[in-house]
Chains A and B, each alone.
Chain A
Amino acid sequence: QVQLQESGPGLVKPSQTLSLTCTVSGGSISSGGYYWSWIRQHPGKGLEWIGYIYYSGSTYYNPSLKSRVTISVDTSKNQFSLKLSSVTAADTAVYYCARGYPPDYWGQGTLVTVSS
């Protein structure tokens, strides 16, 4: 069964870039057939889809975040990553990585706080 695990700093300063990595086990990103997604959830709020990437590197981003988001993939490490630039307190959230569009398997999530 595929498993996903997010990793990265839990605290980011305003105006800096948030960087997270998702490590996939139990399945290969490069085998194709799936998109790999990032979703976030503001504290006590609902879910917001950030974007996805295919193993080939093709991406699609939520237009509301597109100017600040980059999702990349490293098939040699079976990982995909999220970068969100120019963060503010409004970017404080639990960030999830997930398999699929729409997502079926999700990571456990990681809280990222934006604060000085």
Chain B
Amino acid sequence: DIQMTQSPSSLSASVGDRVTITCQASQDISNYLNWYQQKPGKAPKLLIYDASNLETGVPSRFSGSGSGTDFTFTISSLQPEDIATYYCQQYDNLGGVLTFGGGTKVEIK
């Protein structure tokens, strides 16, 4: 199975800061990588699909990049409403096992 290593596991940043989260796959997954935001007590929300595509309605301060094994998720200017846990997720274009990263908890300093 493909393993997803996400880092850091938590971070604290100030409002307006640029925040970066990384996700590394144990093998080449092309661009089959999504990013989700989960606020406490809520279901995850899809933010970025296929590594770099912004889901409709998601603010443009969120972005994603990467391919192969190394991926990056960025919040260009952290806002108070962005406090959440963020997960990367890989999937198989043939419909196989879907795996999540361990999550990154983002807090305001």
Contacts and interface: CB of A to CB of B under 8 A. Distances in A.
Name, among B43, B49, B89, B91, the residue most crowded by chain A CB atoms within 10 Å (CB to CB): B43
B103 A102 contact: no
Nearest to B97: A62
Interface of A: 35, 37, 46-49, 52, 60, 62-63, 96, 98, 101-104, 106-109
Contact of A101 (B1, B45, B98): B98
Nearest to A105: B46
A102 B97 contact: no
A46 B46 contact: no
B44 A102 contact: no
Interface of B: 1, 34, 42-46, 49, 55, 87, 89, 91, 95-103
Name, among A47, A96, A98, the residue most crowded by chain B CB atoms within 10 Å (CB to CB): A47
Contact of A46 (B34, B55, B97, B100): B100
Secondary structure at the B interface, as helix, strand, loop or mixed, is loop
A47 B87 contact: yes
A108 B43 contact: yes
23 contacts: A35-B95, A46-B87, A46-B100, A46-B101, A46-B102, A47-B100, A47-B103, A48-B100, A49-B98, A49-B99, A49-B100, A60-B95, A62-B97, A63-B1, A101-B95, A102-B34, A102-B49, A102-B89, A103-B44, A104-B49, A106-B44, A107-B43, A108-B43
